Every structure is written in structure tokens, then in C-alpha cells.
Amino acid sequence: MSKIGYIRVSTENQETARQQEIMCDYQVDRIFSEKLSGANTDRPQLHAMLDYVREGDTLYIESISRLGRSTRDLLNIIDTLNDKGVSLVSHKENIDTQSPTGKFMLTVFAALSQLEREQLKQRQREGIEIAKAQGKYTGRKPIPTDWVKFEQLYGEWKAKHITGRDFMRRMGITANTFYRRVRQYEATHGITEQTIT
């Protein structure tokens, strides 16, 4: 029987020190740690942890929000743990799923966590609508484009001297922005060939 810790923060800028201390207090044998949003279910360390745990193990987390943000995702993870015979201890909520009360409380806290998240998103939407009505919100500012550099790289890309990935890296843009800029450039210059490699 092993004690396993799972640590998560939402962004690269956030620190895991507080969660690390909690794991030390529990004297866990192994920690899986990552810096990704809880809304993202495709988390490598989460999957690695779920693959690693075995019957009789106990998973320790700082709070249930570390595992997942939506009730559905959280309960799916809990079901996986239950199917493997793994207990869960959540420090913040003082939940231990080895007891029926702990299992019930986990479901309640998961629902409350999702409700809090949905209310926050609703307040953000309402704030944006108010700001728009007052003319104070214009959305995200467009990413400026160096069209001279873009045109040069476009020529190299079309001549197959560089890949699309090289193009994006040298322009410092994402794939979505890249394809949008290519369409914009080709439409402006009357280029009808849409082959993108």
C-alpha cells in the first residue's frame, strides 16, 4: 500500500510549495505534479497517476479542485479510483473516502466547486456586457503583424524552403493565427491557391 500525492496549479507562474508541504506532512511515497488548468482533462501527470495507483493505495490532494473543476470530470476520476480500490484524502475539505460519509461529502463538495466556477463565469460575462454597454470593452487587441517579414517567410514557405512550423516559430504566432494570416494575405494579394502544407 502506497501513499500517492497529486499536485496541480493552473499556470506556470503559480508555485506548488504549499501543496508540496502538505504532501510532506502526509509522508507520501510518490508525487505527481503538473501546471495545467483543471478544466483540461488531458493532463499527462493525472493520467500517469491514475495508471500508477494500485488497490490499497491512498491518493492525497490539497483540495478536490486540484483533481478537476467540473463535477462530471471529478466524479469520473473518483470512479476510476474506486474501481482500482484506491482511497482519496482531500486535505482542505477533510474528506477521506474510506468512509461512506467521506464519499457523500466528496460528491457534495464537487457539486459546490462546479457551482462556484459557473457563478464566477456568469459574473465575468455580466461584467463584460456592462463594460460593452458603457463602451469600455472592445475585446482582445489584435496581434500586430510584421507584414514585410510575413511576405518574405510566405515566399520561403510556398517555395518549400521552410515548413509551416518554422514559419509560425519565426513569426511568433500560433497555428490558428498563422492560418488566419495566410488567408488574409492571400485574399489581399489575389492568391487563389489554398494548399497549405
Question: What does the pLDDT look like over 158-176, one tens digit per residue?
Answer: 999 998 888 998 988 888 8
Whether 28 and 74 map to the same domain: the answer is yes
Pair 26, 58: CB distance under 8 Å: no
**Burial category of 74 from C-beta neighbours within 10 Å (exposed 0-12, middle 13-18, buried 19 and up):** buried
Q: Which of 35, 31, 15, 11 is nearest to 23 (CA)?
A: 31
Whether 102 and 152 map to the same domain: the answer is no
123 lies in a domain?
no
Last residue within a domain, chosen from 64, 96, 114:
114
3-state helix, strand, coil in the chain (%, to 5): 55, 10, 35
Whether 12 and 109 map to the same domain: the answer is yes
61 pLDDT higher than 90: yes
Residues with a catalytic annotation lie at 10
Whether 157 and 103 map to the same domain: the answer is no
Last residue within a domain, chosen from 94, 114, 134:
114
Quote the number of domains for the chain.
2
Whether 88 and 170 map to the same domain: the answer is no
138 lies in a domain?
no
Whether 8 and 99 map to the same domain: the answer is yes
Q: What's the pLDDT tens digit per position in 100-130?
A: 888 788 777 767 767 877 888 888 888 888 8
Domain boundaries, position 184: 147-188
Whether 104 and 158 map to the same domain: the answer is no
**pLDDT cut 70: percent of the chain above it:** 92
